[in-house]
Amino acid sequence: MAAAVQTLDGHEAVAARYHDVDPVYAETRDLRLTGFVLFLLSDCVLFASFIFAYVYLRVSAPVWPPFIGGHQLPWFDTSFAAFNSIVLFGSGVTMHFALENWKHLNKRKFNLWLIATIVLGIGFLLGQAHEYSVVGISWSGSTMGASFFTLTGMHGFHVFIGVCYLTILAFQANRGVYTGSKYFGLTAGTLYWHFVDVVWVALFFLFYLW
Amino acid sequence: MNEVLIERGAALAGAIVVGVTAIFQLKNDWAAKGVDALVTKILLGLMAAGCVLALLAAVNVLGARAS
């Protein structure tokens, strides 16, 4: 099988190597993948609950942003949010490149793209911290602030966990935990990071563009 | 230069680069099979949509009231 894999290119080579594993791993890999996708779906439900609460609060408010103490609360800063969003979306692309390079057995490029992903993830978190410091509203002062800090805080926590997760994956990958045919952890890490990106698409639209 | 202009310029350039790369990756992975590939394709597509939103925000078409 290994000789046959050598003659293939691109997706065919990756698919052949991916299936050239022991049957026990193949079976548990599919189960793990299903379990991980279910975990992502459960996280979708969690975010959807808070998003619908925010939408309800917003559409039922007589005026938005609400008035507190006779003053209308400010809109959020769209330009900085757009920049910070691109930092996060860019990290999704670099993570995708990292996994592709691992599949094609290019460990050096895998490491570079994975480090780029971690750096961009940290950059997004720093941008979020900056936004919190200048946003001009508080968590407890209004439904707008409560929704904003709850949803973006929960998302930021997911990004933080993702950064920790990717750092652990980087150490594991360089200690030989994963091979060219056994890399479920890396696949799960990539799916998780893409999920975090996509949740931010929804939050970016709801808080900054709607 | 105005800070807002720098942010919008960076967001515009980034949105184009990241969005085009995401679409290109989506096209490359279109033939890949399996649950992980399917989920990746959906998430890459949504991320490309996010890039379009960021691009529209950067050129003041969406969310123009803020600044």
ipTM for the predicted complex: 0.90
Flag whether residue B33 sits within 8 Å of chain A, measured between CB atoms: yes
Chain B contact present for A159, CB below 8 A: no
pTM of the model: 0.90
Across the interface, whether the CB atoms of B14 and A90 are under 8 A apart is answered yes
H or E segment to which residue A104 belongs: none
- Per-residue pLDDT 10s for chain A (210 aa) are 454 555 666 667 777 766 667 777 777 888 899 999 999 999 999 999 999 999 999 999 998 888 888 888 888 889 999 999 999 999 999 999 999 999 888 999 999 999 999 999 999 999 999 999 998 888 888 899 999 999 999 999 999 999 999 999 999 999 988 988 888 999 999 999 999 999 999 999 999 998
CA–CA separation, A116 and A101 (whole Å) = 14
Distances in Å between the Cα of A19 and the Cα atoms of A15, A65, A173 are 6, 54, 20
Check residue A76 and report its DSSP letter: P
Distance CA A2, CA B10 (A): 46
Best mutation target, A34, A79, A99, A181, to test chain B (most B CBs within 10 A): A79
B26 and chain A in contact, CB less than 8 A: no
How far, in whole angstroms, is CA A134 from its chain's centroid? 24
**Nearest chain B Cα distance for residue A184, angstroms:** 10
